[in-house]
Amino acid sequence: MDVSVVIPAKNEEENVAPVIKAIVAALSNKVSFEIVYVDDGSDDNTYAELQRLMSQGIEQIYPVKHRFSVGQSTAIHTGVKMSRGQLIVTLDADGQNDPADIPKLLEQAMLQPLGSDFCIAGYRKNRKDTSWKRFQSKIANKVRSTLLHDGTPDTGCGLKVFPKTTFMKLPYFNHMHRFLPALVRRLGGKIVVVEVNHLDRQHGVSKYNMLGRLGVGLIDMFGVMWLQRRVKIAEVVSVDQDH
């Protein structure tokens, strides 16, 4: 398996089919891939929709269901752990990330040295959000980039590509998905930013608000800063081949 597309979702039944069909259209005949769709304790028909699509012959779907909701970061962590691909693609389940952009990010991933740590991060330059939400994100991204120096203008974009081996080196904590570029940089990894589309949400409503983001964001940001200051990266210059 070359690529595992990991999608964390909660109560997205109307978006399941269009998102999965768009991924299949974008990646078929290009790479060997699976879609690890993690239903994070939905109380609607999200999981039933996955089963329906599988019965229709979409064999790339690998459905996973949490008994109860544990949050987006844990859902991503579950999906990556259970994935079989060497490269991980993450995207949001709400249909606002454009699967047609995935090949563009994978092209950048293929340019990275074999065995290196990296994160190809999507940048929603032209966001399809309200002016108030764009203002929130602009302030949050400015504060985060100033404090963490994570090399990306839009860490909140769900569309990212990174090696599975890189992700499994990262410290796990709730809300870690908001800080993936900073955590990869902490390993000495490279961050590559790629402009991507941002689509209008067609179904459902956002699960997040400003107070929710702010409350956890500040606490976690200081935690990531603490981690950054306590890492030491060894540079190996000699290896005894006899051992």
pLDDT of residue 103: 97
The answer to the question of residue 100 being in a domain is: yes
* 202 class by beta-carbon count within 10 Å (0-12 exposed, 13-18 middle, 19+ buried): exposed
In whole angstroms, how far apart are CA 50 and each of 62, 69, 205?
9, 18, 20
The answer to the question of residue 212 being in a domain is: yes
pLDDT of residue 210: 45
The CATH number given to whatever domain includes residue 77 is 3.90.550.10
The answer to the question of residue 193 being in a domain is: yes
Q: Which helix (H) or strand (E) element contains residue 38?
A: strand 33-40
The answer to the question of residue 40 being in a domain is: yes
> How many structural domains is the chain composed of?
1
pLDDT along the chain (243 residues), means of 10: 94 96 97 98 97 97 96 95 97 95 97 96 78 64 67 85 97 87 92 92 58 56 67 67 62
Tokens 């999965």 locate to 20
Q: Cβ neighbours of residue 24 under 8 Å, at least 6 residues apart?
A: 35, 58, 60
The answer to the question of residue 184 being in a domain is: yes
Q: What is the pLDDT of residues 16-48, one digit of tens each?
A: 999 999 999 999 999 999 999 999 999 999 999
The two structure tokens encoding residue 109: 């991933």
Q: The whole model's pTM is what?
A: 0.83
The two structure tokens encoding residue 145: 């980039």
The answer to the question of residue 131 being in a domain is: yes
* Residue-number span of the structural domain to which 146 is assigned: 3-229
The answer to the question of residue 116 being in a domain is: yes
The answer to the question of residue 240 being in a domain is: no
Strands 160-163 and 118-123: antiparallel
Residue pair 181/152 in contact (Cβ under 8 Å)? The answer is: yes
